[in-house]
Amino acid sequence: MKTKWFILPGCIILSFAAGYGFRAPTSHHQHGVIEAGGNEANIRFFTCSMHPNIQQPSQGSCPQCGMDLIPVREGEGPAVGARQIHLSERARQLAEVATSPVERKHVETELRMLGRVTFDETRLSHVTTRVAGRLDRLFVDYTGVKVNQGDHLVTLYSPDLLEAQEELLTTQSTIHQLGSSVTPYLRQSALESFQAAREKLLLWGLSEPQVASILERGSAEDHITLHSPSQGVVVQKDAMEGMYVQTGSKIYTIADLSHLWVELEAYESDLPWLHYGQSVRFTSEAFPGETFEGQIAFIDPVLDARTRTVRVRVNLINTESKLKPDMFVRAIVRAKIAKGGQVMDPGLAGKWISPMHPEIIKDEPGSCDICGMDLVSAQSLGYAEATQDTAPLVIPASAPLITGKRAVVYLDMGDGIYEGRDIILGPRAGDHYLVERGLKEGDRVVTRGNFKIDSAIQILAKPSMMNPGEDSLSALPIFKASDAFLDQLNLVTEAYLPVQHALSHDAIEGLDALVGVLHATIDALPSPSTEEEQSSSWHSLQASLHKAASEMTDSSSDIAKVRKSFSPLSRALSQVLAQWGSSFSSELYLLHCPMAFKGQGADWIQTHQAVENPYFGDRMFACGEVKETLHQSH
3-state SS track over 380-424: HHCEECCCHHHCCEEEECCCCEEECCEEEEEEEEECCEEEEEEEE
| Residue-level length of the chain | 634
In terms of domains, do 517 and 598 share one? yes
The contacts of residue 224 (CB under 8 Å, 6+ apart) are: 155, 156, 157, 158, 161, 205, 206, 210
Find out whether 120 and 259 touch, Cβ atoms under 8 Å. Answer: yes
C-alpha pair distances (Å), 142 with each of 186, 230, 486, 618: 52, 18, 70, 100
The amino acid that residue 531 corresponds to is E
| 43-86 tens-digit pLDDT | 767 877 666 667 777 888 887 777 888 876 654 556 566 678 88
The H or E element that residue 217 is part of is helix 208-217
| Residue 232 region by backbone torsions, left for phi larger than 0, else alpha for psi between -120 and 50, else beta | left
**Domains in the chain, number:** 4
The predicted model scores a pTM of 0.60
Is 456 among the domain residues? Answer: no
Is 101 among the domain residues? Answer: no
CA 90/CA 353 separation, integer angstroms: 59
Is 55 among the domain residues? Answer: yes
Is 94 among the domain residues? Answer: no
Q: Over pLDDT 70: what percentage of the chain?
A: 86
The H or E element that residue 591 is part of is strand 588-593
Is 494 among the domain residues? Answer: yes
Closest CA to 468 of 423, 413, 418, 435: 423
Please tell me whether residue 542 adopts helix, strand or coil conformation: helix
In terms of domains, do 171 and 287 share one? no
Determine how many CB atoms are found less than 10 A away from the CB of residue 558.
Answer: 13
In terms of domains, do 34 and 71 share one? yes
Q: Are strands 383-384 and 343-344 parallel, antiparallel or unpaired?
A: parallel
CA 620/CA 48 separation, integer angstroms: 14
Find out whether 497 and 515 touch, Cβ atoms under 8 Å. Answer: no
CA 446/CA 100 separation, integer angstroms: 7
In terms of domains, do 224 and 142 share one? yes
The dihedral formed by the CA atoms of 274, 277, 278 and 284, expressed in degrees to the nearest 10: 100
Closest CA to 45 of 72, 23, 68: 72
The dihedral formed by the CA atoms of 514, 519, 524 and 527, expressed in degrees to the nearest 10: 130
CA 512/CA 552 separation, integer angstroms: 9
C-alpha pair distances (Å), 177 with each of 181, 187, 190, 469: 11, 10, 11, 108
The DSSP letter of residue 263 is E
In terms of domains, do 27 and 130 share one? no
CATH code where residue 496 lies = 1.20.120
CA 362/CA 377 separation, integer angstroms: 10
CA 198/CA 219 separation, integer angstroms: 14
In terms of domains, do 139 and 115 share one? no
Find out whether 429 and 337 touch, Cβ atoms under 8 Å. Answer: yes
CA 618/CA 605 separation, integer angstroms: 18
Per-residue confidence (pLDDT) for residue 34, from 0 to 100: 40
In terms of domains, do 309 and 173 share one? no
Please tell me whether residue 584 adopts helix, strand or coil conformation: coil
> Which among 388, 408, 430 is the end of a domain?
388
> Which among 255, 287, 318 is the end of a domain?
255
CA 245/CA 251 separation, integer angstroms: 9
C-alpha neighbours within 13 Å on the C-beta side of residue 535? 4
Find out whether 569 and 549 touch, Cβ atoms under 8 Å. Answer: yes
In terms of domains, do 69 and 131 share one? no
C-alpha pair distances (Å), 468 with each of 407, 463, 592: 11, 5, 18
The amino acid that residue 24 corresponds to is A
CA 527/CA 496 separation, integer angstroms: 19
In terms of domains, do 346 and 244 share one? no
CATH code where residue 183 lies = 2.40.50.100
In terms of domains, do 487 and 606 share one? yes
In terms of domains, do 229 and 284 share one? no
Per-residue confidence (pLDDT) for residue 472, from 0 to 100: 65
C-alpha pair distances (Å), 103 with each of 339, 392, 439, 443: 12, 8, 10, 8
Which residues, given as ranges, of the chain have pLDDT below 70?
Answer: 1-42, 44, 49-53, 72-82, 181, 386, 388, 459-461, 466-472, 474-475, 530, 532-533, 536, 631-634
Residue-wise burial string across 109-143, b where 16 or more C-beta atoms lie within 10 A, e elsewhere:
bebebebebebbeebebebbbbbbbebeebebeee
Is 452 among the domain residues? Answer: no
The contacts of residue 437 (CB under 8 Å, 6+ apart) are: 423, 424, 478, 581, 631, 632, 633, 634
Please tell me whether residue 164 adopts helix, strand or coil conformation: helix
The H or E element that residue 501 is part of is helix 483-504
Please tell me whether residue 39 adopts helix, strand or coil conformation: coil
| Helices 184-203 and 159-177, axial angle in degrees (round to 10) | 160
Per-residue confidence (pLDDT) for residue 41, from 0 to 100: 58
Per-residue confidence (pLDDT) for residue 22, from 0 to 100: 41
In terms of domains, do 512 and 607 share one? yes
CATH code where residue 274 lies = 2.40.30.170
CA 260/CA 323 separation, integer angstroms: 8
Q: Which domain holds residue 505?
A: 483-630
Is 504 among the domain residues? Answer: yes
Is 403 among the domain residues? Answer: no
Beta bridge partners of 335: 109
> Which among 255, 280, 302 is the end of a domain?
255
Please tell me whether residue 281 adopts helix, strand or coil conformation: strand
